[in-house]
A and B are shown apart, each in its own frame.
Chain A
Amino acid sequence: MTKRMVDLDGLLAGSLSRRTAVKAGLFSAVALGGIGVNRSVHGQAGGRLVIGKPGEVLNLDPHFSSSQITWEIQAVVYESLVFLDDTLSPVPGLAESWETPDDRTYVFALRQGVMFHNGREMTADDVVYSLRRVLESPESWWNVKMGPAVEPDPATVEAAASAEAMGTPTPVGNRIGVTVEATGDYQVTATLTEAYSPFLQSLSATTTSIVPAAEVESGEIDITTTLVGTGPFRVVEHAPDQRWVFGKFAEYWQPGGAQLDEVVWQIIPDETARVASLRTGEVQLALFENPAVLDLLASDENITTVEQTTTNYYILFVNGNQPELADQRVRQAISLAMDREEINQAALFGRGTVTGPIAQAFSELATPITELPFYSRDVERARALLAEAGFEEGLALQLLVTPALAATVTMAEVLQEQLAEAGIEIEIVQRDLATFVADYTDGESSQLAISWWAGYSDPYLILVELGNGQATFIGMDDPAVDDLISRAAAATDPATRVTIMRELEAAIATLGNFQPMVTRNNFIAYRNDQLANVTFAAADGFGLPLWHNLKDMTLTQ
């Protein structure tokens, strides 16, 4: 087995800047002989790549879809204004370049000659329509990450209120302080009400895909049942629950375009069956949930396994709405009683990284774990805090998990033993995924719960969910946190941003409602005898290891 680990943290040790460090790191990975990068030597263009996929997509609309299983497909068909490089930093995508005349104005110069899969050229109108659709639709969930929140327009509120009074509940939606206008055939200008540092980052997701405006608006293309974008692959066939077939898009704008003729996502729900299919070579690449699979495949010399560092992490949600957990000291005691590295070892076989609210992969922003308040295990202090809070005799709590996220069940068992040492008795409750999600997000049904969230390409994009009344489901509604979040958004100077983000991280760790534990890395395995030019970004924040790399992969035969 050729084992390669893209470990951003390791690479970033020392005083190198984030970007140069990763470049150096990738170079060393190549030099060690892990992967081929020289196209002429290893692979040849053409052919069909088969990827094993655990399930069917859910909600195909790119602007509203919120599950990784759907993003995976959308990511090769659609593209956004901004792409992400290896270090998750924004680089030009469908926008060739951008200028910021002041910190509230972004002028994007669009690429010319970019074709949609239906053969029409992309213009500024498509970009404006797509971004407005995400920003303004009440169905949008990504919009809160795209700009400063502003008070809803009084007229809209009034209209909604009167409709409500007539018996028709009318959601107002979020109003985001971003206006997007076409200022030329190939120029789009975004104006923000306030400076907003993660703006470019927020335009890199599949949720900000550029769709063909006129066709979508007229109903000629229904983006809830098909996909038409500007990406390197276009949809050829979809047999529901069976497979997705994508063909190389001949008019793709990037020189060289996709190397493969066809990419097939074969749906194989059972993880054991995916392992077996990889062994026989029926599929050449697959992603796995269970880290143990990597060890299982280690004996096969034709299979290379990869662990990709991510910013996604497993979180213990501590619901402060519950009377037992209302006291901050109890939540802190839980954090102190926890041994995160042991959880990593037991549940993920050490294939994760212990993390605080800012994933360690964001190494410039993240506080070192040992310096985060309440993150180093101290059972004595935990007991003392419980006693101060009036629980000298300890207390009993329920911990909600779902077997659909397999690793979380093991995490719960480890946590049960660790918390017992501090006098907290845990009862583990298992539910199916939909019940689990409903119970942990309704604010009433659960005390403790373990789930995972995508970490995206900037820590702000996840931490914004903890402010302004959005995290009341875990009883978190702290004016200081809200203030730090809006200051972090407005901070454009890198050094100021680091200070504010670290303050925010410490405040979240001190409150203890939201306790990230360990990263959820991507586990990938592929056939090294059939695939060449396989590269992965040094870090990922969407569960999309193939994203911008798939088009460069080739087959060896």
Chain B
Amino acid sequence: MRAVWFLLERVSCILEPAEREAVLGDLKEAGEGPWQTIAEIVGLVLRRQADHWKDWRPWVAAFGVSVPTSFMLMGGSVMLFSGFVTLAQASAARQLFAAEVEILSVQTLLLAGWSWTCGYLVGSVSRRTVWLSIMAYCAPCLFCLSRFHIETFSRLSLLLFVLPLAVGLWQGRRGQRMGRRFGVAVAAIVTALAIITQVGVTGGVGNASRWICSLVQTWPSWCLAVASLDAAREDERAERSTFEMEQHELS
């Protein structure tokens, strides 16, 4: 019986604290047993999840952002890893060039920027359904990990983007409001890093598809910038209407 109560405590932790309080109180008042209480709580959680999926945002976050960007970020990770391998070989041969180190540093920052903005976007768009977005990131990674065969590279070279992505997901999910200046600055920096990397790697011209791929990956950062501008505009409107109401009351 103690195990059932323990299970009940664990299951009820899925609910928000205030709701857990009310629901457990209601079920206790109705005289429901522990098994019935567990079934009722699971039913409530399933209904809540079903409600979230009526919205378009979780679908876009999981299948419109997570899946395609996971492939792009894995590509970026492998490129960065190959850059590090080349640099290690060059430094072993005492042919270390400052330009190569610079490009590699910019590439590292770019991958971190791409990953963080992707994570933040997905986390903020699908706060309550973020588990599916995480699965949508994991599925392509597992697929690629199982088919990765480059002898000189570790399989982990595919996953260099995971840490900044996880940080972005966590911050986006917490609902931290991104300021207007910060949002625009992040988008501008990520775009600038993408351009610098391409100029550094290809010498300014080169492969058009690489340019396109690199710039396409900046779109999550621009989405965040637009969202931060919208949020700032809404705040201004709300402040103005509050001020007008106060003036009206005073007059």
Q: Do A and B come from one complex?
A: no
> Which residues does B use to contact A, with CB under 8 Å?
none
